Structure 1
Amino acid sequence: MLHDYIADLHIHIGRTRKGEAVKISAAPSLTLERILGMAGDTKGIDIVGVIDCHVDEVLRQIEEAVEHQAAYPLAGGGLQFSRVTLFPGTEIELSDEAGQGPVHVLLFMPTLESMRELSDWLAQRMKNPRLSSQRVYERAKTVQKKVRELDGLFIPAHVFTPFKSVYGKGVKRSLAEIFDPDLIDAIELGLSSDTTMADQIEELHRYPYLTNSDAHSLEKMAREYQMIRLGQPSFSEFKQALKNEQGRMIVSNFGLNPLLGKYYQTRCAVCGEVTASGTACSACGSHKQIKGVADRLRELKSGEGGPASRPPYVHQIPLEFIPKLGKKTLEKLRAVFGTDMNIIHRATAEELQAVVPSSIANDILAARANGLEVEAGGGGTYGKVRRIIE
């Protein structure tokens, strides 16, 4: 029997259990234990991709959990921790031999053994294997072949963001300038784009899209996610879902309205004013810009539409974006409804109004239906939710 699972496959480790930094820009509270606890108990996530498992201390902690029967390997790959399945992965930085890039990619392995082999292989090709998102001094296509050899997944990350992404500054026109297109398993869209925007690039029509949080703090988990239909939450079933095989599929992508992302608009890199791409800033006169995803996609546009099998993309406004929904109010909601997924997807108007003021309840329902007016973000600043659309 098939079931629908919530998956967020881009979550960083901030600190190891010994307190050593892994993702320097991530919160210290992002430890493996707290990620797994928050995912299952608070967020309502069924499958997590922890993408700093190349770090020896992180990998050893997972290995010890299996030894002590706090987790067990699934027959089809992946590791079951109580209520949450973990796919071990890593985020790395790559360039091609001509110097194009750098770009970030996600690599996922089915087993601890294959993750250990990949970790050892990468450690010989990076300067500091104890840290996240490190440059790997190897041809991108060689990395792709190694991942395929280990039966893993190779997924370009947040592909449109201005920095360290394939279409940001990684390539001029095509991902084939760096990668072997046949050895890419999926594309991660990032917070400032959605399916309709991405499908303006014809070469992407062949790939499934993933929407993940890229969480640098516990509360950012599940700000983007996907619902996946699987027989069980295993790695092999997930690979089938990416190919739409035997009823396994991505049912829906849930992500921010792209206007809420940090890089939707082009903005002046000096003062932050919204600017037209390629022109001087009207406020300060600077020609330095952080090009927005919308403008970059206009440059790259080569098609429209996309495959008929493409799942729907649901614009999802995270609870933390909703006006006047502070920490104490969120705690009340979680105490009653259990998880954020229950609050966002399942609680009725009457149930919500019994816990919080009607104005907040109405905003939660409006967010569920993409009924909130938003102000576009850009230049590294998130967009803002303004009000309910009348």
Structure 2
Amino acid sequence: MKFYGDLHVHVARSIKGAPVKIAASKNLTVLNILEKSILKGIDIVGIVDGASPLILEELKEYIQEGILFSLEEGGFRYKNKVTLILGSEIEIGKEEKGSPHLTCYFRDIESISLFSQEISKYIKNINLSSQRVNLTSVQVVEIAEKYSGVVIPAHVFTPFKSYYGSSTDRLKYVFKDFYQYIYGVELGLSADSDMADQIEELQNKTFLSNSDAHSLEKIGREFNVFDIKEANFEEILLAIKREKGREIVKNYGLNPKLGKYHRTFCLDCGYIAKEGPPVKKCLKCGSSNIVLGVKDRIEEIKDYDTKHPLFRPLYVYQIPLEFIPNIGRKTIEKLVNYFGSELYALHHAPYEELEKVIGPSNALNILRGREGELDISAGGGGIYGKVTIT
């Protein structure tokens, strides 16, 4: 069976209002995330602040009240419509260079609670999201393995807080003998499979496309299509490992140009590079005070031009509804009310039905987005790329 899964969503606050992810929209609570996932059309959602004791306490209450139902093979079911997977994104503090983010996923509340207790010894405030841990990547993998967790390098190419972006040229240098336990990597919004498959050491790794949502609206802006028997932790892990016939059969993600760090950005004059990569200084004002783009970084460290392994699934570009000009919140609500989910409207709804709901112009732009016919100017330096209608 096919399930849509977004495994990287932040929780901003506990249900009692205590902060968890400070740099996120305040309405990102566990229950709001689950409800929004249903409206988006996401079947599996992973929260990456699940090791916070504030969230663990809240989840235990939901289980006792019957709001969440524990699944025997890991994860939780909500309203029999969406599966919740528990994860913890942390910042590695003891690498030779940089402070990359690593996400650890766990099958049940007992496992992530034990992980939380142990990892809290090396973190100043375990209640807050993505805190720096006074450990190496290898040490975190060892702790996660102890509690049957799986680790995924997060947004692996972005200029800040990632492995390739700010820490190393090769994951093998960092993870050493534990590299074999890295079954997949998260590409991030500014990269795709074509770009990542220019690095030889990633040829046997599964690619994950997740939203890294800091607001409810961003859930599902990137997601994975899992071909698994049931929506639970063990089946997802099999898919990431590509075992027993389980696998990810499609990655849906932003056109990388829409990502905030796709091309090199000049911090002095604000110019976003348009020239061939790698651009390592501003070609407009000559400044070296730049944020190196993901495309530019990959060009700098790649082994060869794109070579996809046979198992690599199709990467489908999607332009989320909120990126399409003239489609605002009210228009999206109309689409959801009519079609049942945003993702169905975005990818599957026929033109004739779209036209009935939102008119011919907006319907045509959704179809043009599906076909890659909308013009996009690249983002960089923390500024999203932009869709223009011509």
TM-score norm. by structure 2 comes to 0.95
Residue 44 of structure 2 corresponds to which residue in structure 1? Answer: 47
> Where in structure 2 are the equivalents of 1:263-342 lying within 5 Å?
263-275=261-273, 277-280=279-282, 282-283=284-285, 285-303=286-304, 304-342=306-344
Is 1:30 matched with 2:28?
A: yes
Matched-pair contact (CA < 8 Å) for 1:95–1:178: no
- 1:123 is matched with which residue? 120
RMSD value over aligned CA atoms? 1.3
Matches of 1:279 and 1:58, distance apart in 2:
43
Change (3 A) 1:268 1:73: same
- Fraction of identical pairs, as percent: 43
Counterpart selection for 1:254 from 252, 255, 258: 252
* Aligned partner of residue 235 in structure 2, secondary structure: helix
- Inter-partner Cα distance in structure 2 for 1:13 and 1:219: 13
Residue in structure 2 matched with residue 184 of structure 1 by the alignment: 182
The alignment status of 1:137 with 2:139, answered yes or no, reads no
- Confirm or deny that 1:366 pairs with 2:363: no
Task: Report the Cα offset of residue 244 of structure 1.
Answer: 2.2
Tell me the alpha carbon deviations over residues 339-387 of structure 1, each in whole angstroms, 9 at most, x when there is no partner: 1022012211100000112111011111122221211111111111113
2:250 maps to 1:230? no
**Contact 2:271/2:282 (8 A) holds in 1:** no
Write the letter of the residue equivalent to 1:8: D
Instruction: Give how far 1:95 is off.
Output: 3.7
**How is 1:70-85 mapped onto 2 (pairs within 5 angstroms)?**
70-82=67-79, 83-85=81-83
Secondary structure at the aligned position of 1:167 is classed as: helix
Equivalent-residue separation in structure 1 for 2:294 and 2:343 (angstroms): 28
- C-alpha distance 280-356 of structure 1, shift in aligned 2 (>3 A): closer
Task: State the one-letter code of the partner of 1:155.
Answer: I
The question of 1:203 aligning with 2:201 is answered: yes
- The CA deviation at 1:240 is 1.1
Q: Normalized against structure 1, the TM-score is what?
A: 0.95
Distance 1:329 1:143 in 2: 44
Q: CA deviation at 1:272?
A: 1.3
CA distance in 1, matches of 2:87, 2:336: 29
2:94–2:134 contact (8 Å) kept in structure 1: no
Query: 1:281: Cα distance to partner?
Result: 5.3
2:190 & 2:211 partners in 1: Cα distance?
12
Greater Cα shift, 143-152 or 113-122: 143-152
- Report the equivalent of 2:345: 343
Note if contact 2:281-2:289 (Cα within 8 Å) is conserved in structure 1. no
Cα distance, 1:264 vs structure 2: 0.8
Q: Could you report, residue by residue, the CA deviation over 1:59-116 in whole angstroms, capped at 9, with x for unpaired residues?
A: 111111111221121111111111111110110001445x322000110000110010
Within 1, Cα distance between the matches of 2:281 and 2:29? 44
SS at match of 1:124: helix
Kindly report which structure 2 residues correspond to 1:146-185, keeping only aligned pairs within 5 A, or say none: 146-171=143-168, 173-179=169-175, 180-185=178-183
> Partner of 1:187: helix, strand, or coil?
strand
CA contact (8 A) 1:374 1:387 kept: no
State whether residues 100 and 178 of structure 1, in contact with CA within 8 Å, keep that contact through their aligned partners in structure 2: no
1:375 is matched with which residue? 377
Q: Is the 8 A contact 2:332 2:342 kept in 1?
A: no
SS in 2 for 1:356: helix
Further displaced range: 8-17 or 331-340: 331-340
Alpha-carbon distance between aligned partners in 1 of 2:283 and 2:53, rounded to the nearest angstrom: 46
Is the 1:52–1:89 Cα contact (8 Å) retained in structure 2?
yes
Q: How far did residue 280 of structure 1 move? A: 4.5
The CA deviation at 1:330 is 1.4
Q: CA deviation at 1:282?
A: 2.5
Structure 1 residue runs without a partner (length 5+): none
Q: Which amino acid aligns with 1:19?
A: G
Matched-pair contact (CA < 8 Å) for 1:5–1:228: yes
Residue 96 of structure 1 contacts residue 178 of structure 1 at CA under 8 Å; is this kept in 2?
no
> Matches of 1:191 and 1:213 in 2, distance apart?
7
Question: Is contact 2:37-2:219 (8 Å) kept?
Answer: yes
- Tell me the residue number matched to 1:111: 108
Deviation at 1:270, TM superposition (A): 2.4
Asked whether the 8 Å contact 1:195–1:209 carries over to 2, the reply is yes
- The answer as to 2:58 corresponding to 1:61 is yes
4+ residue runs over 3 A deviation: none
- Which deviates the most, 248-257 or 298-307? 298-307
